[in-house]
Every structure is written in structure tokens, then in C-alpha cells.
Structure 1
Amino acid sequence: MKPGLSLRVSQHLSLTPQLQQSIQLLQLSTLELAQEVEQMLIDNPFLEQAGDEGDAGGDAPAEIAAGAAEASAPEVFSSEKEVATAQTASESVAETAAPETPETLNWEAEGLDGQDGEWGGEASSEWEAAGSSTRNREGDDETDAIDLARGHESLTEFLHRQALSLHLGAEDCAALRFLIESLSDDGYLEDSLAELARSLAGEDLEEREELEQRFAIALRLLQSLEPVGVGARDLAECLQLQLRELIRSAEDEGTTEARMNQLLLARSICAQPMDLLARRDLRKLASLCGAREEQLREAMALIARLEPRPGRRFADVERQIVVPDVIVRPVRAGSGRMDFAVQLNPDVMPKLKVHDVYAGVLRRHKSSEGHAVLQQQLQEARWFIKNIQQRFDTILRVSEAIVERQKNFFVHGELAMRPLVLRDIADTLGLHESTISRVTTAKYMATPQGTFELKYFFGSGLGTETGGSASSTAVRALIKQFVDAEDPKKPLSDAKLADMLKEQGIECARRTVAKYREQLKIPTTTLRKAL
């Protein structure tokens, strides 16, 4: 074969850096976005956070819009000395050269047109209204949830504080502290004493045995602390520790014989294999404990009131906080009709703008020194502000479309949820399904019915006798309603629930009912049966 040259015309899709950043920001959660903004503020000197007071740019959306406006061909500092001065001492630069207002700066950027058609153009008026409204916290008596979480005492801190009152020797104190630090969040000591000793002593057998003995003493001390049950190796030991404390209190208070027998029987039940208690195998437990089934039921009811996770009340509150991205409020429309207003949560919207001083110095001084680097950084700052604006604009548009489709849910609750898939919202807004998927992931909406992830409002449909469809969310809510109203002595089977749904006109197979029941964390009929 002879080598030759040929021409070929082809088309391919390429993502520009700006569009890649838009996609990346769109799929971030609120916490991840805050971290990305913080990192960008560190890396890019042309980007700054607008304060609530004393900013010449005014409200946050106006500043973002000014920064997002496009610029003319960038100019550079005349020397490296000016670059260093502008980047490290903005106050001294401001004294010699007053910053120019956004109106005097030419922000017409090159190469930005036509790259973000999917995201839409300028921010909507609702987005601007949401961003410009800041919450006045002065004189507010309510405690901020995050501040409360930071001041929350953890389980290890609570135990360490109690350990100070034991007046132990140095070695025993160190062993107790080590066990406390080895506890799980639920208050369990998941590693055996031998494993903990091996982690410290290695292969030295003599030292390992000494440490095991020291840990055994420290474990008894740990299990004597509050909350009762802390330091248990498994659920059975946790329940036995709590029952032991109840028995001790009953002896001190001089309780009745019936009550004491009940506590002793409960402790005997917890000494048996826990799977018997989980299955509520009364016949087997009656044989092992030598008690009547009626007595077993009373003792098992007592066990059910114990705390299986002693560290529950010390859980990290901050990790459980969900900050909504969108807020939905009911408003009265004409003729007494209920409508809903959708707005972005201003607390999660970063207030950013291009640094006026640095941009002004860059515009007035023309030189080849550092031209490419500074030009790129200024362009990246503009892109970043514009992409954040587009992110919130897209979230607002999608949220408004969801509220419009699921209006009955906001009035009547889960039972009124309509079937909805990503394609429905994508077709309405003229966006791609992948865009809707990114918007609805890890984004939350605060509604009169509670706070939900945006994905919660999407669900497949089940056929009905009338030829329509019912949302799977509504079907799950109906199943939960049936189970809540059932006779505890005769719980409803999955087949019975399927028949009851059919009576409501919903075609739902038994296996589908079982799947929905498991999603709702509803136990089987055997476990739901009354004691």
C-alpha cells in the first residue's frame, strides 16, 4: 500500500471548560458547593466574597450579575512587582488607585456566547429576589441549629467527664480512656479485649496478657458509667446491663415480688440466644426459662422498652441537619384557592463578586508580564460566578415545575402524589434528563408537608381499574395507612394488603407490596403480631 493524504469532514461534541464546570457545580450538594466556593476563594485572587455590610456592589445578585457580565480583552500588570502588590496588599493599592464602579468597567468577555444555552441566560427575577433578601439575625432569640450542634456534648466527652470523678491510678485511667475512645457511636465496644491488647502490645505475649487484665478491670468501670448499657460487646450484654441496673434499683426501693420476678425473667430471656427473642418464639423461650407464655409476654414487653443503642442521644446533631435549597410557602390566590410560592433559600447562596481593585489595576496596566496567567484567573472568576448563577437558576426552574406537577401533594400529602418521571420535567423545561437527574440529587425542598429531597417527588406509576395510574409513593403511603390501622393481634399479610389495594382500584401484586413494605421498614406479620 502507498501512503497518501486525504481530507475528511466529521462532527464531534466537545465540552468547553466553562460547560464542564457548570455540570460539576450543578451536581454538587449544598455542603460540597460551599467547600468548592471556599477553595476557589483561596486559589483565585480575582474572586472575593461580598460582605453583608460596606460592600459597594450592593446586593449579592447584582454583584454576581456584574461579575458574570463578560469582559473585553484582558490587560495585565506592568511588572511583577505590581502583581505582587495587587495580590497581597489590596488596601495599599486602593489608597493609590480608587476602585472603579461596575458601570465604568467593560466586562464584555470573549468566547462565552452560545456555550450555556441549556442552562438559560440571565438569572430569573425570582432568583434575584431570593438572593437579595438576607435574613436579619439581630435580636433573634432562636438558637441556630448548627451552633447548637457545635456545642453538643459527644458520648466520649460525656464518659471522659465521668471518668474524672473515679480517682483512678495512671495506668487504670489510661486503660479506661483507651476503651472510651474505642467505642462505636452507639456505645458498643465492638473489638474484643484481646484484639485491643494486641493492637498495643503486638506480639509480646506477656504484655498482651497484662493489658487484657487491665482492660477487663477498665471495662467493668466503663459499664458502671452513664448511660446504662455503654461498653457492651453485643446487644444481649447491653440489655442485661440495663436489666441489672433496674434490678438493683428495685431492690433498693423495695419493689413488689411480681415486679422483681418480671425483671429476673427478662434477664433470663436476654441470656438465651437473641434470635429467639427476635422471632418471639414463645414456645422455645418458655421451655428454656421455665415460665408461662403470659409471663414471657410481659417480660418481653419490658425488654422492648429498653435502649438498644445507649449512645443514641449523643449522636452528632450537625450531621443530621438538612439545609433546604428551595423553600415552598403557601399563598392565597384568587377565590380562596391555595397556591404555592417557590423561592431559593438565600442562606445557601454564596455572595461572590470579582475583586474591584485587582480588576481595575489589571484593566489600567498593560504589559506582557504574566499576561496569560492573570487573564486566565480573571476569566475563571467570571465563569465561576456565572456558573453558580446558572446552577441556582436551574434548580429554581426545576423546583417550580415539580411544584406545579405535584400541587395536590402540598395540599393533601403523600396520598395525593402523582406519578412523575425525569422525562416529564425535562420535556417541560427543554432540558436533558441527565440535567434533571443532577439537579434533583442531594438537593432538598422545604414544604408545608416537611423537607424532602427533590428526587422524592419522582416515582413510577401503577395501573388502576379506571385506566389511569397511581404513584408508587401514594401506594406506599396507603400501605402504611393500612398497617397503622390493623388489629395488632391479627396483622395484615402481604396478600391481604394487595387485595385491599385492589379494592381501592390499584393493581398491585403481592411481591410489589412486599417490596414497598420493606422500603417502609415495616416488619413481617410474625414480628408485628402483638405480644
Structure 2
Amino acid sequence: MALQTGLKLKLGQKLKLAPQLRQAIALLQLNRLELREHLEQALESNPLLELDAPEAVSEADVEPRDGTDPVDDFADEYRADDRDEYHDERWNDLPEGFSEVAETPDYDRFISDPAQESLAQHLLWQANLAHFSEQDEAIARAIIYALGEDGYLADDLATLRASLAPEYLVSIDEVVAVLGRVQHFEPVGVAARNLRECLLIQVRTLPSETPSRGLAEHLIEHYLDEVGGLEAAALARRTGFGTEEIDGALAVIRRLDPRPGLRYGRDDENYLVPDVYVFPGDDGWQVRLNRDNDPRLRLNDAYVKMIKKALGEDKSYLKERLKEAQWLISSLELRNHTLRSVAEAIVRHQAGFLEHGDIGMQPLLQKEIAERVDVHESTVSRATTGKFMHTPRGTFELKYFFSGAIPTRDGRSVSATAVKARLERLIATEPVGKPLSDQALVERLAADGLLLARRTVAKYREQLGIPNSARRRREARRP
């Protein structure tokens, strides 16, 4: 048989993120405590980094220099030989980018005691925006209500299916399909049925280029019991992989959360520190970032000067640490700029909420904010998860300001949050001893032009923690 040879031309596209941009994305999704821990580790491991003396500065003044987008800084990799050999003036004068605030807002007058969001509330909010069908949303709600405090699914699939009958006659496969979507809500891995499933869901959502991800998935799937009880060397002998490979996989596994629901557990000693402050000003609502968000990192001049005198491996080590330090400082600046831009866009859109409360909330999707800020929708998701905004109305997670749209009779739309506020107001003013049924509430809302199904009203009432009319009637009769 003759051997045929030839050339083939193949075109394709591949997105490759620069290390700096990957770091900026990773920093953006960290909440305040996670960011502090990350920076503490960076300060301990990198001698080129040090903490600048604290001053009365505001991250609200972080802006890209020379009118350029800070993302452009990541387009070209840093080359020391293109500038002064070891110094870049952009890094030396970085603190100058944080201008002084002449008059600090009086934050104390806005301080409140916000209630911590429960896991169920967090998941129900995501379910409302997931574009489920009516039946699938009912399945999702049943799953969410069946979760334990640690986030694991307490009921089996047959029990969930039975709880939906006779209103919804669903199959096990339909329950499994919705369960898979809920398991990828934030926090990822919630609603898992066991530890192995929880960890596998999380590791499979990691970027494909994550080092040792494949081996970590293999160890979780086949050697989970041994992972917690054996040293890397013993696990290597058991599995046939190298010790260094096992160490890398174990490092990935340690970053996973075995109890994703516990972060939402209530603790009276916990309190929230806002990432963003909103307060009224002469030109409308003003946005300021919490000054503690940025620790004002800077380069250690002594070590920078030492690079010129170092030789061999010492010089290579210091140059690499210098590059890492510069990337981290720039990534922090980009994080603050993005967070502030997203917060300002939200505040401009939700001015009605700031002035009138929930009743003034407008429909808003993450996609709309992404278009206004000119970033990807996933960037908005990272910037709003785990970040809190303090307003005269209280302290809210940034994602609270996103809400689906409810159509009205005249063709306009109102937010689901505003509808809930109207519903709560109707129930609060109902005649004593004569509570309004869900159908009566539908009719009252229809009189205001809101077109809702009775099932939707019942769902919103449950989310508000308000019992049905029969129970309210019984409670009103109690002495």
C-alpha cells in the first residue's frame, strides 16, 4: 500500500489570556476578605512588594492614566529592556494615581444593621433570573428548599418528585436536569448529593488550562477516601503517578469548598464591611469605594536597586519577582476601576430605588451593565458577587440590584423587586381578620396594570416569608 503524504491548511481561533489579565480576572472575583488573604500571601512571598504607609486616600479616584483603558496595559508583555533596565516610571509613581479626598463623606450616618442573606434566598434570586419554564422553576424551588445548612441535598430524587405532585407530574430525568443547573449556581457545587459529587462539580468548572485539573478530577472520582488519609508519596505509589504530579493535584483539591453552603450560615457576630459607599451629593448620587479595599502596595526600593548588583540565579529570581509585583499592582488598580465603573452604572440606573426604596427598583440585567461599562457579562458577574454596597436604604450585595422584568398592561415593565414591594404593601394594609387570598392579590395588582399569574404571586409571597391567607387568618384570631 502506497504511503500518501500532503499538507493541510487549517484555520482556527484561539483565545489566549496574558498572565496579567488572568490575574486581574482572578482578583476581581475575590470578595474583600479573600482579597486581603491573597495580598497577605503575596507580601509574604514576594520581597519586592511592601505595604505603603496608610493615608487618607480614596479608591474612587482610581482612573486609567492618559485617558487609556487599563486593560490595554495587559496587551503587551512587560519587557525590562524596552525601558530603563529595572525601573518603569509608571510603577514608581503609582501612589500618585490615588488623589487625596478633600472632604471625606460622613459614612457613619449611613450605617445600618443589614440582615445576612440566607443560602435559600441567594439561590432563589438566581433561579428567578435563570429563565426556567414554570415547571422547571417549581422543581428548582423544591430542590432549594430541600438543602441543608451545608448546601447538600437532604432529600432523594424520588422524594423531590413526589413533593411536586399532583400539581406537577414530573419524571426523575426532569428533576435530574434541573438539579444539574442548580448545582452550577453560585456557590458552585451546592445541591450535591455527596462530597464526591460536590468536589467533581467544582473541579470541572475550573478553566481547562488549570494545571493538574485532570489529575485532581481523577483522584476525586477514584481515590477520594485515600486523598484525605495518605501522604503524597503514598498516594503516588497507590495511583502510579509521580509525587510532583500528585502534589499539584492535591493543591487544586485543597482550593475546593467541601461545604459550599456554610458560607451563608447565620452568625450574629459576623458583620458586613461594604466595598462601595453611595451617598447624596450636589450633583446627584455619589459613589466611593471603601478606602480599605486597596492596601497601596509599592515596590521595595532596596530590592529593586539590588537587582542591578545581583548575578546569576539571584538576578533572575529578583527580576521575576519584580514582574510579578508590577502585575499585581496593576491588577489591583484595574480591579478598583472595574468595580467602581460597575457600581456607578448600577447607581445611575437604580436612582429610583435610592430615593423611594424597593418600590422604585427598575428592571436590570447584568448584560445591560456590561454594555454600558463596555466589559463582558462575566466580568459584571464577578464584580457583583460577594461585593456589598452601603446606601441610605441599607447595605446590599451588588447583585441585589438586578431584577427581571414584569410586563404591565400599557406595554411598560417593572422589576420583580418592585412588584414584591407592592405585594408586601397590599398584605400589610389588608383588613384585620380578612386577609387577601392570592387570587385577590392578583386582582388588586391587575388594577394597577400588573399582569401576574396567581402562581407567581404565591411564589413572591413565599419569598417574602409571608404565609398564605388561611394561616394569616388563624394568626389574626389568636389572642
Alignment TM-score, normalising by the size of structure 2: 0.57
1:437 paired to 2:381? yes
Determine helix, strand or coil for the equivalent of 1:327: strand
Residues 55-109 of structure 1, C-alpha deviation per residue, up to 9 Å, x if partnerless? xxx968799999x99976279xxxxxxxxxxxxxxxxxxxxxxxxxxx9973169
CA distance in 2, matches of 1:134, 1:358: 35
Q: How does 1:385-424 map to 2 (within 5 A)?
A: 385-424=329-368
Identity of aligned residues (%): 41
Closer/same/farther in 2, CA of residues 375 and 7 from structure 1, 3 Å limit: farther
CA distance in 2, matches of 1:448, 1:386: 32
1:340 to 285, 289, 297: 285
Closer/same/farther in 2, CA of residues 474 and 124 from structure 1, 3 Å limit: farther
Determine helix, strand or coil for the equivalent of 2:389: strand
Closer/same/farther in 2, CA of residues 42 and 23 from structure 1, 3 Å limit: same
CA-CA distance at 1:458 after TM superposition: 0.8
Closer/same/farther in 2, CA of residues 494 and 407 from structure 1, 3 Å limit: same
1:322 paired to 2:324? no
Name the counterpart of 1:357: 302
1:458 to 395, 402, 405: 402
Larger of the two Rg values belongs to structure: 1
Residues 426-450 of structure 1, C-alpha deviation per residue, up to 9 Å, x if partnerless? 1112111111111111111111111
Name the counterpart of 2:326: 382
Name the counterpart of 2:29: 27
Closer/same/farther in 2, CA of residues 64 and 341 from structure 1, 3 Å limit: closer
CA distance in 1, matches of 2:39, 2:20: 16
CA distance in 2, matches of 1:507, 1:376: 61
Alignment TM-score, normalising by the size of structure 1: 0.52
Closer/same/farther in 2, CA of residues 63 and 469 from structure 1, 3 Å limit: closer
CA distance in 2, matches of 1:496, 1:475: 15
Closer/same/farther in 2, CA of residues 63 and 400 from structure 1, 3 Å limit: closer
Identify which of structures 1 and 2 has the higher relative contact order when contacts are C-alpha pairs closer than 8 Å and 6+ apart: 1
CA-CA distance at 1:9 after TM superposition: 4.4
Q: Which runs of 5+ in 2 are unaligned?
A: 114-148, 150-265
Closer/same/farther in 2, CA of residues 124 and 476 from structure 1, 3 Å limit: farther
CA distance in 2, matches of 1:412, 1:123: 39
Q: Given that residues 410 and 448 in structure 1 are in contact (C-alpha distance below 8 angstroms), is that contact kept between their aligned partners in structure 2?
A: yes
CA distance in 1, matches of 2:48, 2:336: 22
CA-CA distance at 1:527 after TM superposition: 2.1
Name the counterpart of 2:39: 37
CA distance in 2, matches of 1:48, 1:34: 14
Q: Given that residues 64 and 351 in structure 1 are in contact (C-alpha distance below 8 angstroms), is that contact kept between their aligned partners in structure 2?
A: no
CA distance in 1, matches of 2:17, 2:404: 32
Name the counterpart of 1:495: 439
2:80 to 69, 73, 78: 73
Closer/same/farther in 2, CA of residues 463 and 59 from structure 1, 3 Å limit: closer
Name the counterpart of 1:106: 87
Q: Given that residues 64 and 352 in structure 1 are in contact (C-alpha distance below 8 angstroms), is that contact kept between their aligned partners in structure 2?
A: no
CA-CA distance at 1:51 after TM superposition: 2.3
Q: Which residue identity is paired with 2:87?
A: N
CA distance in 2, matches of 1:525, 1:475: 19
CA distance in 1, matches of 2:29, 2:440: 42
1:512 paired to 2:456? yes
Q: Which runs of 5+ in 1 are unaligned?
A: 76-102, 111-121, 146-184, 186-314, 334-338
1:474 paired to 2:418? yes
2:390 to 446, 467, 476: 446
Number of corresponding residues: 307
Q: Given that residues 80 and 86 in structure 2 are in contact (C-alpha distance below 8 angstroms), is that contact kept between their aligned partners in structure 1?
A: no
Q: Given that residues 464 and 505 in structure 1 are in contact (C-alpha distance below 8 angstroms), is that contact kept between their aligned partners in structure 2?
A: yes
Deviates further, 350-359 or 398-407: 350-359
Q: How does 1:118-129 map to 2 (within 5 A)?
A: 128-129=99-100
**RMSD over equivalenced CA pairs, Å:** 3.9
Determine helix, strand or coil for the equivalent of 2:277: strand
Q: Given that residues 354 and 391 in structure 2 are in contact (C-alpha distance below 8 angstroms), is that contact kept between their aligned partners in structure 1?
A: yes
Q: Given that residues 28 and 335 in structure 2 are in contact (C-alpha distance below 8 angstroms), is that contact kept between their aligned partners in structure 1?
A: yes
